[in-house]
Each structure stands twice: as structure tokens, then as C-alpha cells.
């Protein structure tokens, strides 16, 4: 670019000649130059502004177009990302501890009608009644023709039924996909699983929600989409559960019992390996709760967890263990067991008005199940320490097992604790708890004195709970319980090789009049095996059993719950992988043989 000089020499000289000020030329030139510069920069700025506005226009129109596109298009699933199992299954499966399925989902269809599109409602109603016997054709036809535009007919149906509905061929009948909860094992572990039903229902899907048992207690976990692909593994062992339920059912039938319950529990981990309650129900077709009468008579009632009974003499070992733990007695200390014993206006008797006294060792008090001996032990302990011991064993609070029924089963404990309460609770009367409470308390004895929390989830980690008694006390208690089975009231429960230890309990049922029914009892046998190193606790409870093989009906636990428990141990122990211990024969059975 050729720059114009500010003081061109020719014009300067000319101006000087004319006597003008040459500086005006310079100023004029400077002005012109500035104007030129200003024009150039304005043009440049205009171009820049143009580009800038074009850029903004492009950006905003892109964003606007994208937003419009997003708003206007139908949503589609991302096709390039791989879908995991969690999208397929809405509710996680439940398996037993070995991964065998206890609850799973199945794709079925629901049936609904849009009567406005229906060609011949009368024929549809008649044909549907042929397929589904519970449908009343007259009522259905009335509902199809009363002017409504939508009607549910079936929630779920089998593929065969669906095909037959297809064959009716009416355009007003429509199907919606349904994910249905399926319990392939039928009544097995019904009380643990509970059941499921539909929550909010739409045409294209319905939510499945748990209605009872672990399905309801862990509903959030089972419905969590992040964990839908991982089955919930329970501590229940399907094979064991089947064996326990089979034997319990046989026992219940043979002994004419109204109901039965059994709990098999690992004493260190607190895992429940089997939890049975009879009568049972089919969770696939869960019956309705009873609207009148005793809810305890319903098959839905979980006797093992919800059933709160006076558990009778099974409590005596807690009194003995407490006295041992406090250092008041040793197993061979002689205590007063002279029956009957008067206490105020009450008389404490033994079974069948026997008298085991006047003196009995603590060991024999348990073995012979002496009420008077236990009462005297309890009086030595005192009310406060007795209540505290029951509290530490968990008899004052509901169990914390993963069942929705558990928190409602609060033990019935005395409000005040006078001496007579101390006496009756020492042998399990006047205090009511569930078999689950009893299993937890026996597990504390069996594992050497540590409280465990029962669980239905597979974990397998030994718990490090609060210590409730010293290991020495626990060992002495186990020894006494072994005595009960070896020589006491529970000899029918001795299983060769497994050294069963346990305590029987027979409690008369309270009646509506506030007294006790003599011919209605709850029999309990709480046991642990093998006695030299207890690994499992088994609690068997029978409701109103009677053993009629003898000349007169027998209602003590030794004749009812004990043989059933013995049979369960005989079947269950090999399944648990417990090798029978070869016990040395008693000395008097050894015969000297001459060389």
C-alpha cells in the first residue's frame, strides 16, 4: 500500500510560497488518513458482526432443531447398547442355599375386553365360561353390555387357555403381557416365601409385589432393578426342607396334631436351614386370610415364627444355666426338690404328682424335668437376674428374622415379676415365645454361650454376638441336655451316632376362660446335635398332639415331639454331611471273652 505522505514536499513548498501555513496541509492529510482508517475498521467490524450473528443463528437453530426433533420423535430403545438381564426380569429370583429355584418369574398374558369393539358379547361370555370355569356367563354378559369401555377378565392364564381365547376370534378380547410369580415347589417352604400378587396394573405391564414372608420383607431388594439379575439366595436347603416337612407331616398325621412347626438352625452362623409350619398352603394360589375365628387356625399362620406359645419345660435349662453362670450351683449340687411345694396360695407339683426329692442334683433336675427343683433354683437366682437373663437370650423382643410376620410376634412376658412369676417362668409357664425364640436361645447354649441373630439369607459367617453365658456354663448345660436324651424324658429322640441333646416341654394350652385345658397341649422338643460339638439346633413343636398306641392317650412331649424330632435328625444329619460318631458301648454291654 502506498502511504500518502502527511507533508508532501511539493504542496508544502507551494504553500510556503503563497505564505499559507503548511501545517494545515498536514492536519488535512491526517484527518483524511483517520477517516480512511475509521472506514476500514468499521467495514471489518461489520463483517465480524455479520459472522458472529450467523454463528449464533446457526448454533441456536441447531439447538432448536434438535430440541424440536427430540420433542417430536417417538422414543425408541437404544439399539446399540447391549441390554442386560436386569431389563428382562422385573423381580429377582429366590433360590435356596445351593442355587435351586424357590421362586421365579414366568411370562404369561392377562385378558381384558373392550366391549365397544365386541361383535357378539353373549357368545363371548358363553365361550369364556367354557374356558374359565369360575366365570359366570350371565354376569359377564351383563358387564360386557352395560356400556363400559374396558373390563379386566383374567389376570393370568396358561398358553393353552390363551389359544382357546384366540379361537373365539372376537376383536374385543385383548391380551396384555404379564410377568407372573411362580413357586415351582408348591407348598414347600411356603411360610418362608409367603407369596406375591399384582400391585398397580396396566394393560402392557403390572408390578409384582410381595404379600407375605420374605417376599414382602425384602420386597425392595427383590424389586431393585440393579439387583434383578442376581437371585436372592436363602439359607434354606431345599432337600432338607423337603425331608423335614415330610417327616413333620407324617408325625402330625400319626399324632392327630392340629399343627406342627420345625426349625433347623446353624448355631454359629444363625442361618435357618429349614423352617416348616404345618398346615401349609400353596403360595402360587395363596388362600385368603380368615375373616372370623382364630387366625392361628389359618394355614397362612406361621407357627414357627408367629405362634407364641408357653413353651413349658424347655425353659428349665435356662434357669439351670443361669444358676450355673452366676456361680450359685454346680451341676452336681443337691437342691431341694421335695414335691409338692407350697408357695403362698399356690402349690407347685411335678408331672403326675410324682416326687423326685427330697434332694436332687441340678443335673437330675433337668434330666427328670423337676418343676420344684427348677422353682427353687429360680428363687435362688431372683426375679431381676432371671428377667435380665431372659432379656439377654432374646425372650423379651420379637425376633429379627427376614420375615414380615416376625416383628408382629412379640413374646408375652409378665408385666410384673413377683416371686410366683419367677417360679412359673423358670419352667416355661406364664411366659410365651415363638419356637424361633427358643431356637435362638438354644443356639446360644449350643455355640458356647454367644447370642446369634437368626437369618434366612445365605451368609455363612460365624456371628460374633454378645456373650450371654460362659463357655463352661454352656458346656455343662449341653451335658445336662445330653442326659435328658440319654436317660431322661427324651430317650425316644436318641439317634445313634449323633449324640442328640435336648429338652422336652409340655404346656397346657390356655383356654378362653382363663384356665388351662388338660387335653390340649403344645409339645416342644428343643434339641441340638451332635452333643460333643453342637452344630445345629432343631426345635419341633406339635399343637394338640396325642399318642394313642398305648392303653391311654399320651400327651407328653417325650411321646410326641421327641420321636418326630429324632426321625428328623436321623434324616437330616446325613444330608447335612454330619458323619455319625461311633459312641463307645456302655460298659455293662461289653462281654469279656477268654483268649
Partner 1 sequence: MRPVFFVLTFLGVMALCFWAYRENYATQAALRDMGRLQNEIASLREALALQRAEWAYLNRPERLRELATLNFDRLGLLPLEPVQFGAAAQVSYPAPMLLPGDDLFPDISNPVDVTGQFSTEPAPSPVDGQFP
Stretch that binds partner 1, among 23-31, 183-191, 251-259, 543-551 (CB under 8 A): 183-191
Out of 6, 13, 49, 106, point to the residue binding partner 1 (CB under 8 A).
106
584 CB neighbour count, 10 Å cutoff: 8
- Who's near 109: CB < 8 A, 6+ residues apart? 156, 157, 162, 175, 176, 177, 178
Asked if the bond preceding 24 is cis, omega within 30° of 0, the reply is no
Stretch that binds partner 1, among 462-470, 519-527, 570-578, 585-593 (CB under 8 A): 570-578
Asked if the bond preceding 579 is cis, omega within 30° of 0, the reply is no
Stretch that binds partner 1, among 311-319, 440-448, 469-477, 569-577 (CB under 8 A): 569-577
Query: CB 218 → partner 1: shortest distance, Å?
Result: 20
- Who's near 563: CB < 8 A, 6+ residues apart? 251, 492, 493
For residue 275, what is the enclosing H or E element? strand 272-278
498 binds partner 1 (CB under 8 A): yes
Give the C-alpha separation, 337 to 380, whole Å: 13
Query: Which is catalytic among the residues 313, 361, 370, 527?
Result: 313
* Three-class DSSP category at 288: coil
CB-nearer residue toward partner 1: 146 or 160: 160
Query: CB 130 → partner 1: shortest distance, Å?
Result: 27
CB-nearer residue toward partner 1: 40 or 579: 579
Considering only residues 223 through 282, tell me which ones interact with partner 1, judged by CB under 8 A: 238-239, 241-243, 246
185 binds partner 1 (CB under 8 A): yes
C-alpha distances in Å from residue 146, one per residue of 132, 150, 505: 21, 11, 63
CB-nearer residue toward partner 1: 206 or 311: 206
Query: CB 250 → partner 1: shortest distance, Å?
Result: 12
Out of 17, 82, 353, 549, point to the residue binding partner 1 (CB under 8 A).
82
- Who's near 86: CB < 8 A, 6+ residues apart? 225, 226, 227, 228, 229
Stretch that binds partner 1, among 12-20, 84-92, 354-362, 387-395 (CB under 8 A): 84-92
105 binds partner 1 (CB under 8 A): yes
C-alpha distances in Å from residue 549, one per residue of 47, 559, 578: 113, 10, 32
Using CB under 8 A as the binding criterion, the count of chain residues that bind partner 1 stands at 35
119 binds partner 1 (CB under 8 A): no
For residue 106, what is the enclosing H or E element? strand 101-113
188 binds partner 1 (CB under 8 A): yes
335 CB neighbour count, 10 Å cutoff: 23
Give the C-alpha separation, 259 to 249, whole Å: 9
Is-catalytic flag, 313?
yes
Out of 135, 151, 174, 182, point to the residue binding partner 1 (CB under 8 A).
182
Stretch that binds partner 1, among 42-50, 132-140, 168-176, 496-504 (CB under 8 A): 496-504
HEC string of 115-165 equals: HHHCCCHHHHHHHHHHHCCCCCHHHHHHHHCCCCCCEEEEEEECHHHHHHH
Out of 5, 55, 68, 184, point to the residue binding partner 1 (CB under 8 A).
184
Out of 90, 104, 227, 392, point to the residue binding partner 1 (CB under 8 A).
104
Query: CB 489 → partner 1: shortest distance, Å?
Result: 23
Residue-wise DSSP of 324-379: HHTTS--TT-EEE--SSEEETTEEE--GGG----SEEEHHHHHHTT-HHHHHHHHH
Query: CB 580 → partner 1: shortest distance, Å?
Result: 4
Query: CB 245 → partner 1: shortest distance, Å?
Result: 9
Q: Which residues pair with 522 in a beta bridge?
A: 507, 543
Site string for partner 1, 37-76 (x = CB under 8 A): ----------------------------------------
Asked if the bond preceding 530 is cis, omega within 30° of 0, the reply is yes
Residues that bind partner 1 (CB under 8 A): 79-80, 82-83, 85, 88-89, 100-101, 104-107, 182, 184-186, 188, 238-239, 241-243, 246, 495-498, 570-571, 573-575, 579-580
Catalytic (active-site) positions:
313
Amino acid at each position: 500500500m502506498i502511504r500518502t505522505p502527511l507533508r508532501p514536499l511539493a504542496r508544502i513548498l507551494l504553500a510556503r510560497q503563497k505564505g499559507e501555513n503548511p501545517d494545515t496541509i498536514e492536519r488535512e492529510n491526517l484527518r483524511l488518513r483517520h477517516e480512511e482508517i475509521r472506514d476500514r475498521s468499521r467495514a471489518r467490524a461489520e463483517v465480524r458482526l455479520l459472522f458472529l450473528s450467523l454463528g449464533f443463528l446457526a448454533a441456536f437453530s441447531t439447538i432448536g432443531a434438535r430440541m424440536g426433533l427430540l420433542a417430536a420423535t417417538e422414543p425408541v430403545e437404544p439399539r446399540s447398547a447391549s441390554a442386560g438381564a436386569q431389563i428382562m426380569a422385573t423381580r429377582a429370583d429366590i433360590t435356596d442355599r445351593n442355587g435351586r429355584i424357590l421362586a421365579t418369574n414366568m411370562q404369561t398374558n392377562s385378558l381384558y375386553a373392550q366391549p365397544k369393539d365386541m361383535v357378539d358379547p353373549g357368545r363371548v361370555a358363553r365361550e369364556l365360561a367354557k374356558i374359565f370355569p369360575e366365570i359366570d356367563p350371565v354376569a359377564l354378559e351383563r358387564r360386557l353390555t352395560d356400556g363400559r369401555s374396558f373390563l379386566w377378565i383374567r389376570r393370568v392364564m396358561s398358553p393353552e387357555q390363551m389359544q382357546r381365547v384366540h379361537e373365539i376370534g372376537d376383536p374385543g378380547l385383548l391380551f396384555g403381557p404379564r410377568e407372573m410369580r411362580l413357586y415351582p415347589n408348591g407348598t414347600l417352604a411356603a411360610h418362608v416365601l409367603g407369596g406375591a400378587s399384582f400391585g398397580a396394573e396396566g394393560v402392557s405391564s403390572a408390578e409384582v409385589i410381595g404379600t407375605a414372608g420374605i417376599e414382602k420383607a425384602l420386597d425392595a431388594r427383590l424389586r431393585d432393578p440393579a439387583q434383578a439379575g442376581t437371585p436372592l439366595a436363602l439359607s434354606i436347603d431345599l432337600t432338607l426342607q423337603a425331608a423335614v416337612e415330610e417327616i413333620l407331616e407324617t408325625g402330625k398325621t400319626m399324632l392327630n396334631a392340629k399343627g406342627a412347626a420345625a426349625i433347623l438352625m446353624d448355631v454359629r452362623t444363625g442361618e435357618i436351614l429349614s423352617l416348616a409350619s404345618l398346615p401349609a398352603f400353596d403360595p402360587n394360589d395363596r388362600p385368603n386370610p380368615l375373616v372370623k375365628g382364630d387366625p392361628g387356625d389359618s394355614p397362612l399362620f406361621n407357627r414357627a415364627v408367629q405362634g407364641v406359645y408357653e413353651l413349658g419345660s424347655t425353659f428349665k435349662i435356662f434357669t439351670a444355666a443361669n444358676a450355673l453362670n452366676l456361680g450359685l450351683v454346680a451341676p452336681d449340687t443337691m437342691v431341694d426338690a421335695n414335691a409338692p411345694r407350697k408357695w403362698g396360695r399356690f402349690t407347685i407339683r411335678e408331672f403326675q404328682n410324682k416326687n423326685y426329692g427330697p434332694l436332687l442334683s441340678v443335673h437330675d433336675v433337668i434330666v427328670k424335668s423337676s418343676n420344684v427343683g427348677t422353682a427353687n433354683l429360680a428363687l435362688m437366682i431372683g426375679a431381676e437376674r432371671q428377667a435380665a437373663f431372659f432379656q439377654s437370650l432374646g425372650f423379651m423382643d420379637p425376633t429379627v428374622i427376614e420375615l414380615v410376620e416376625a416383628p408382629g410376634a412379640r413374646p408375652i412376658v409378665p408385666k410384673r415379676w413377683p416371686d410366683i412369676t419367677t417360679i412359673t417362668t423358670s419352667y416355661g409357664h406364664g411366659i410365651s415365645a415363638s419356637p424361633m425364640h427358643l431356637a435362638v436361645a438354644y443356639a446360644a447354649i449350643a455355640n458356647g454361650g454367644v447370642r446369634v441373630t437368626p437369618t434366612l439369607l445365605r451368609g455363612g459367617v460365624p456371628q460374633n454376638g454378645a456373650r450371654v453365658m460362659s463357655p463352661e456354663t454352656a458346656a455343662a448345660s449341653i451335658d445336662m441336655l445330653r442326659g435328658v436324651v440319654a436317660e431322661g424324658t427324651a430317650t425316644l429322640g436318641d439317634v445313634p451316632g449323633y449324640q442328640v441333646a435336648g429338652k422336652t416341654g409340655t404346656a397346657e394350652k390356655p383356654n378362653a376362660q382363663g384356665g388351662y385345658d388338660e387335653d390340649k397341649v403344645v409339645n416342644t422338643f428343643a434339641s441340638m446335635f451332635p452333643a460333643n460339638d453342637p452344630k445345629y439346633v432343631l426345635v419341633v413343636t406339635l399343637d394338640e398332639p396325642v399318642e394313642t398306641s398305648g392303653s391311654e392317650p399320651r400327651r407328653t412331649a417325650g411321646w410326641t415331639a421327641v420321636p418326630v424330632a429324632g426321625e428328623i435328625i436321623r434324616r437330616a444329619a446325613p444330608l447335612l454331611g454330619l458323619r455319625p460318631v461311633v459312641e463307645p458301648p456302655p460298659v455293662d454291654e461289653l462281654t469279656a471273652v477268654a483268649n
